[in-house]
Amino acid sequence: MKNKFKLNLPYTMFPMKANLPINELVILKEWETNNLYQKILNQSKHKKKFILHDGPPYANGNIHIGHAFNKILKDIIIKSKNLDGYFTNFIPGWDCHGLPIEHKIEQKYKNNNMLLSDMEFRLACRKYAQQQIEQQKKDFIRLGIIANWHNPYLTMDYKIEANIIRTFGKVLNNGYIYKGTKPVHWCTKCCSSLAEAEVEYKNKTSLSMYVKFNIINNIQFKKQINIVKDVQISLLIWTTTPWTIPANQAIAVHPEINYKLILIDQEIIIIAQNLIHIIFTKIGIIHWEIIGTLQGKYFNNIQVLNPINNNISKLIISKYVIYKIGTGIIHMAPNHGLDDYNICMKNNIKCIKNIIDKTGHFIIGIHPKLDKINIFCSEKIIKDILLKNNALFYSEKYLHSYPYCWRHKTPVIYMATPQWFISMDQNNLRQLSLNIIKNITWIPEWGLKRMTIMLNKRPDWCISRQRIWGIPIPLFIHNKTNKIHKDSVQLIEKIACIIEKNGIQAWWDLNLKKILDKDYMNYTKVTDTLDVWFDSGSTYDSVMKQKYNIKNIDMYVEGSDQFRGWFISSLILSIATQKTNPYYKVISHGFTVDNMGKKMSKSLGNIIQPQYVIKKYGADILRLWVASNDYSSEVHISQSILKSITDIYRRIRNTIRFILSNLNDFQPKDNTIVPEHMLSIDKWIIHKTKKTQDSIIKNYHNYNIQNIIKKIMKFCTIELGSMYLDLIKDRQYTFLKNSIERLSCQTALYMILEALVRWIAPILSFTAHEIWQYIPGKRSKYIFMEQWYTKLFTLPLNNKMNYHYWCEMFKFREQVNKIIEITRNQKIIGSSLEADIIIYTYENMFNNIMLLGKELRYFLLVSKAYIIKDKNNITKKMIIRYKIKKHTGMKCIRCWYYEDNLVDHLCPKCINNTIGSGEKRLFI
């Protein structure tokens, strides 16, 4: 079952109760009883955006990463906005028809030796699809995805089944649909045509053959090339599908290639000039003679004999012929190759009756030895026939990429069958599509090139399938003319109304007389079903437009495989019905592989199930892993990678825990310090937070989720962990509780936390919700109801201690820390607070440092610090030279700084902070 999860906008997490352990999911009571979400849908008047996301976050061990783009719930509270001010109408949904479900039902009832009628089979498929939906829904909820789970859309809902048929009617009415017999991907196990997206490619070893096709009109050809010898002349072809030789209709040569006539053992073989030595070296032929040359365009009016059934084939001239491998001469069986079909059609060579049946067995009468033989078991038989007829020049095993059925894992063939198609060139559909995609934003950018290539190469879309579980093609065919009913468009609407009430089974139970009246005996009902990608591709219309009255979809999100699936099917149908694009933006992402880059599979034992990750580490670890990857390529996962992700998570979480622990007694309403009264270092960190937030918001808007994690990590580890938090511990722990100095750093911590919790909410949503419960001050119930924090500010540029000043000071501090570390390694000092340090620097740097005055030692975290201006040195090194020694005083038991004179083990500043009026600071 290709379950697709379509969202029309990104969302995040179900909140959880604050008193529960992190990552423990609780569905809110008001969600279940009051249906809060539905109220929001009904009453919100804010602007909306719509996004479709196709594909579950994980399936069959492969983890899709689309949900990393879930920014956050937009505008969840009525009359309130969230991060960007949009309301997100998040509608989950599943595509429910198609081969995968049929296959599961076939397996189930085959194993139980039960036979089902078609109606019973459809009911079983519907029941199975519903079971899968319920199971997947639970997993989505456990991942923390908030959506209208009580009212998802399902393509098997009667209303949507009817709407898909209406979309088909629009395509038909605009003149794009026709019936034709041409080769399509055919699975001999499914006994049905396959979409390109239902085909996967694997390496396959085939028996390739070099086969001689004898020229029949020998005398005429000999005169043309001036050969008088009585010898047989053959065109040598190369094929990796020798079973198609009985279906040969033509031999093709390239007009501009020189072909050599080679005499071997009283027989002339014709091969492209550039391939002779390659072929003969491989075979080991030593004695041969070139007796003539003829350019491809001069092969006129030649006929050849099929070496298996003695049918006559024509020789055609085409630039399609490849001449870098093989022999430069192509065997063409238009029934079994799309390129063969197209070239033969241009030369008025039509398909013949198929030589095989729908299960891949030769029909009776092709050759006595091939009757009822499966084509994939026929290589040896065909080889023997060719040898007996002196037609096999050489054979060898050949490894090549070959199409396989995505579900059955069996080789797929091309076979000409009567099918329904959407024409890519009728009414200029292909060119319209190529023009429109230039106005779509593709993320990554290479998406435009890929879609352009796919549209240029795409054949007409085969939309019919020979299946039971699917949307029917609602057409009636005249018994004599084979034309569709002249009132088909009007009839389709009638049928859609019936299906809307009774589901697709109504088509199979349809009383033709009631629909067609007296004319019913002249028509036959079509029994084919629609390609499931028609279901998917039509959702912009059948779901969003017809059901929800949503006309514009901002973005589609899915895996990179959907360029040949959902992305292109939606594009084609939208342009065919409304001559415009179905989306403005497309984001594609990769799939998971193990740490060695290998595709995950049960046989290799390298699958890591998402459920396992959630159970062991929590949903936020899985979400963080998703967000930390470059989604434009394949995504790696392993136990070691998960451990690394856990370390990242722990750093972010522990940083926030530290901040929260220092806000325990802080009341924002009463204790917040206005910017003018805050200490300079506190204003610097707010400036830095503002810059980081601006960058994070920009990255969210550009869907650069990986970069957001990097910036959050850098902020927590460097700006906070290595720089700011160390500096404020002295003020936070030793100053008077309600001093300006202490409240200043608490104000900064509070503002940082208000911003930081919003940054992580779309990714670490469970953690963000937990944090939200402990941030002091009155607030909304859920972080998911908030906008970006707007109270951050920047330092004025004309301030002496502006942002750039502090950046320079921290570079200076970093160099001092290196000196201290060297001294510690030499066992001269233990902690940095034991150090007395003298630093020599140049004049401008000296002047900047001296602005800190007596607070320099608190900035450097040393007990004594002296700065000396070196007038004689013209270099502009921050530290020209230095002296460092261990302080000779005693350690204060309260602040841990060293002083020469302590009273009851306390330094003067701690005495002032305990029984005095309190220490004063301006900067640090």
603 pLDDT band, cuts 50/70/90, is low
> Do the domains at 636-785 and 803-914 have one common CATH topology?
yes
Output the pLDDT for position 89. Answer: 67
Q: How far apart are CA 791 and CA 353, in angstroms?
A: 76
Question: Is the pLDDT confidence value at 48 over 80?
Answer: no
Question: Is the pLDDT confidence value at 13 over 60?
Answer: no
- Report the largest interatomic distance among the alpha carbons of the chain, rounded to a whole angstrom: 125
Output the pLDDT for position 195. Answer: 79
CATH of span 206-410: 3.90.740.10
Residue 794 contacts residue 687 (beta carbons within 8 Å): yes
Output the pLDDT for position 602. Answer: 63
Q: Which residues pair with 400 in a beta bridge?
A: 204
pLDDT in tens, 661-719: 999 999 999 999 999 999 999 999 999 999 999 999 999 999 999 999 999 999 999 99
Output the pLDDT for position 74. Answer: 35
228 pLDDT band, cuts 50/70/90, is low
Q: Which residues pair with 882 in a beta bridge?
A: 839
Peptide bond into 444 cis (omega under 30): yes
pLDDT in tens, 501-516: 999 999 999 999 999 9
Question: Is the pLDDT confidence value at 625 over 80?
Answer: yes
Output the pLDDT for position 669. Answer: 95
Alpha helices in 702-802 (DSSP H): 705-714, 725-734, 740-760, 765-774
Residue 225 contacts residue 262 (beta carbons within 8 Å): no
Question: Is the pLDDT confidence value at 578 over 70?
Answer: yes
Domain boundaries, given as residue ranges, for the chain = 29-162+538-633, 206-410, 474-527, 636-785, 803-914
Question: Is the pLDDT confidence value at 2 over 50?
Answer: no
Output the pLDDT for position 895. Answer: 95
Q: How many CB atoms lie within 10 A of CB 690?
A: 19
CATH of span 803-914: 1.10.730.20
Residue 74 contacts residue 51 (beta carbons within 8 Å): no
Looking at residues 303-326, what average pLDDT do you find?
Answer: 90
Question: Is the pLDDT confidence value at 750 over 70?
Answer: yes
Q: How far apart are CA 168 and CA 473, in angstroms?
A: 8
pLDDT in tens, 456-477: 989 899 999 988 999 999 999 9
Mean pLDDT of the chain: 86
Q: Which residues pair with 239 in a beta bridge?
A: 209
527 vs 286, more confident:
527
Residue 1 contacts residue 59 (beta carbons within 8 Å): no
Output the pLDDT for position 727. Answer: 96
408 vs 78, more confident:
408
Q: How far apart are CA 556 and CA 8, in angstroms?
A: 9
Length of the chain: 924
Q: How far apart are CA 472 and CA 467, in angstroms?
A: 9
Output the pLDDT for position 260. Answer: 92
Answer yes or no: CATH 1.10.730.20 is held by domain 636-785.
yes
Q: What is the DSSP letter of 217?
A: -
Q: How far apart are CA 8 and CA 49, in angstroms?
A: 8
Question: Is the pLDDT confidence value at 55 over 50?
Answer: no
Three-state DSSP at 244 gives: helix
pLDDT in tens, 173-211: 999 999 999 898 999 988 888 877 788 899 999 999 999
Output the pLDDT for position 82. Answer: 57
pLDDT in tens, 409-438: 899 999 998 999 999 999 999 999 999 999
Output the pLDDT for position 113. Answer: 65
169 vs 30, more confident:
169
785 pLDDT band, cuts 50/70/90, is confident
Unique residue bearing structure tokens 């989950």: 92
Output the pLDDT for position 857. Answer: 96
| Predicted model pTM | 0.80
Strands (E), 546-605: 555-559, 585-589, 592-593
Output the pLDDT for position 311. Answer: 92
CATH of span 29-162+538-633: 3.40.50.620
Question: Is the pLDDT confidence value at 21 over 50?
Answer: no
Q: How far apart are CA 867 and CA 814, in angstroms?
A: 16
15 pLDDT band, cuts 50/70/90, is very low
Q: How far apart are CA 758 and CA 95, in angstroms?
A: 34
